[in-house]
Structure 1
Amino acid sequence: MCRWMAFSGSPLLIDTLLYKPKHSLIDQSQHAELGAETTNGDGFGLGWYPTDPVLSGTPGTFHGVGPAWSNRNLRDLAGHLRSPLFFAHVRASSGTAVQETNCHPFRHENWLWMHNGSIRDFARLKRDLLLEVDDALFPLIQGSTDSEAMFYLALTYGLRDDPVPAVERMVGFVEATAARHGVADPVQMTVATTDGERIWAFRYSTAHQSRTLFYSRTVDGLRAVHPEVEALRLLSDQDRLVVSEPLGVMPDAFREVPESTYSVIYAGQDEMSGFNPR
């Protein structure tokens, strides 16, 4: 499948988290430990919100079809871009083409979306799923992935107004469509989406055996447990990180997101609740 990371907090250079930790996302692109595949080399993507207040509502994106570990432009950008909220994704294709329009995160207006997982037998379900997308949104679909289809279905169901019910309706519609086609256990997902102010992260699968997802403990709590770690003094109490697998910095730095759960991260806070497809 894929590996991804979402950060929210005080502005920092993206390479601080993308490259420097022991088990960074770049390391996971070659040596994933908890994913369905060890290697995630079918493209990558970065989405970030600038610190410039004039531009802060519009995320920038950068995608490549090669492996993240060898892309010189990604390394250079990450060492020069400072952002208070960014997404990073390394892709292992589940069957669709390796092309830039299939690389996450996907963008619509001020929203970003990225996904690890799949819709089972997507080729069989694709027509019925895409016909549900709002007429005004349909022409904006650029790629061929199930992930982008999920994004535009969620937008159709009101993602921009109320994200959680929109994603619940999206998953419920995919499951109902799969049932009509005789496809069992169709949804496998860990999804992150953001409007530039809040991050919503979802962990769910129809079979209730979801891909892994973790969130960082509060920085002040980590400082209390690890006063000897110098790097913790450089982080803000508002910094939050959601990852497909821990970055290997400290064994107790991350907690697993429970099955069938979503989390909302904003202004240095995080809240969790049950996720129930409609």
Structure 2
Amino acid sequence: MCRWLAYLGEPLRPSTIVLDAKHSIVAQSLNSPLGAETVNGDGFGFGWYPTGAPQGAEPALFHSIEPAWNDANLRELTRAITSPLFFTHVRAATAPPIQQTNCHPYRYENWMFMHNGAIAGWRELRRDLTMAIDPSLYPNVLGTTDSEVLFHLALTYGLRDDPINAIGRAIRTVETVGHDHGVQFPWQGTVAVSDGTTLWAFRYSSQGRTRSLFHSADIPAIRLMYPDQERLAAFGDNAKVVVSEPLNDLPGAFVEVPESSALILDMDGYRHQPFLVG
């Protein structure tokens, strides 16, 4: 599978958590104790909304087929910019080829999307799922991954108006098509999607045994727990991180996202709600 990280809060140099954290996403690309694969070296992607960009602006993307731990450009980029909202994804390819168009995150207008997981039986389900994409959106599918198809299904089902319902409908479509093809547990994954202002994260699998996902506790609360941790000074009070694995070993600093749930993050805080239950 893969590992990913999403940040929302005061503008931050992404290197602070992408590179410099004890268990950063780059460290996870080389050693992922909670992942399905220990090494996630089949390329990576970094997407960000520039500081000061107007609402509705497109995010910028950087993709590479190099391992994240070996890419000097990623280090240069994440140390040179600041961003109030960014995604990072390191890939462990399941079946599709290793190429830049298969690296997350994906973009459509002001929306970004990334996924850790897989559609079971993808080779058999691919045609039916791809044909369910709105024809006006189909030309934007540039790669061969199940994740990109899921993103465009969600766009087809109204992602821009109701992200939670649209992601849910897209996953239910995967499950319906999968069951029609005799696949018992078609969907597995954690998903992040953003419009540049709000961040939505999802943890769900058809089997009820989804890959790991965590979010950070409130920064003021963490500071109270660990007043001597100087590295916390880099974060504003509204800083929030969602990540496949905790970025450090401080007890209480990261909270597991419940199974079958949607997580909504904005400048007002965190909200959980059940997702595809029943």
- Give the TM interval when normalised to the shorter protein: over 0.9
- Helix, strand or coil at the partner of 1:79: helix
Deviation for aligned residue 1:268: 4.2
Give the letter aligned to residue 221 of structure 1: A
- Helix, strand or coil at the partner of 1:66: coil
Q: String of CA shifts for 1:11-64, please: whole Å, max 9, x gaps.
A: 011101100011110110000010000000000000000013358722000000
Deviation for aligned residue 1:223: 1.2
- Alignment-derived partner of residue 138 in structure 1: 138
- Alignment-derived partner of residue 261 in structure 2: 261
Alignment partners' CA distance in 2, 1:261 and 1:55: 27
- Alignment-derived partner of residue 158 in structure 1: 158
Alignment partners' CA distance in 2, 1:44 and 1:275: 28
Alignment partners' CA distance in 1, 2:12 and 2:188: 32
* Contact 1:169 1:277 survives alignment (8 Å): no
Normalised to the residue count of structure 2, the TM-score between the two structures is 0.98
Residue ranges of structure 2 left out of the alignment (5+ in a row):
none
Deviation for aligned residue 1:277: 6.9
- Helix, strand or coil at the partner of 2:80: coil
* Contact 1:213 1:243 survives alignment (8 Å): yes
CA gap 1:81/1:56 in 2 versus in 1, 3 angstroms: farther
Give the letter aligned to residue 184 of structure 1: Q
**What value does the CA root-mean-square deviation take over the aligned residues?**
1.3
Give the letter aligned to residue 22 of structure 1: K
Deviation for aligned residue 1:231: 2.1
Alignment partners' CA distance in 1, 2:55 and 2:166: 27
Normalised to the residue count of structure 1, the TM-score between the two structures is 0.98
1:51 aligns with 2:79: no
Alignment partners' CA distance in 2, 1:126 and 1:277: 25
* Contact 2:55 2:197 survives alignment (8 Å): no
Alignment partners' CA distance in 1, 2:221 and 2:94: 38
1:22 aligns with 2:25: no
Give the letter aligned to residue 85 of structure 2: L
Deviation for aligned residue 1:158: 0.3
- Alignment-derived partner of residue 167 in structure 1: 167
- Alignment-derived partner of residue 93 in structure 2: 93
1:10 aligns with 2:41: no
Identity, % of aligned positions: 47
- Alignment-derived partner of residue 63 in structure 1: 63
1:111 aligns with 2:111: yes
Give the letter aligned to residue 71 of structure 2: N
CA gap 1:246/1:12 in 2 versus in 1, 3 angstroms: same
* Contact 2:168 2:275 survives alignment (8 Å): yes
Structure 1 consecutive aligned stretches of length 4 or more whose deviation exceeds 6 Å: none
Give the letter aligned to residue 80 of structure 2: H
Deviation for aligned residue 1:232: 2.0
Residue ranges of structure 1 left out of the alignment (5+ in a row):
none
1:209 aligns with 2:209: yes
Alignment partners' CA distance in 1, 2:33 and 2:209: 17
Q: String of CA shifts for 1:50-101, please: whole Å, max 9, x gaps.
A: 0133587220000001101001111110110100000000000011000000
User: More deviation in 240-249 or 59-68?
Assistant: 240-249
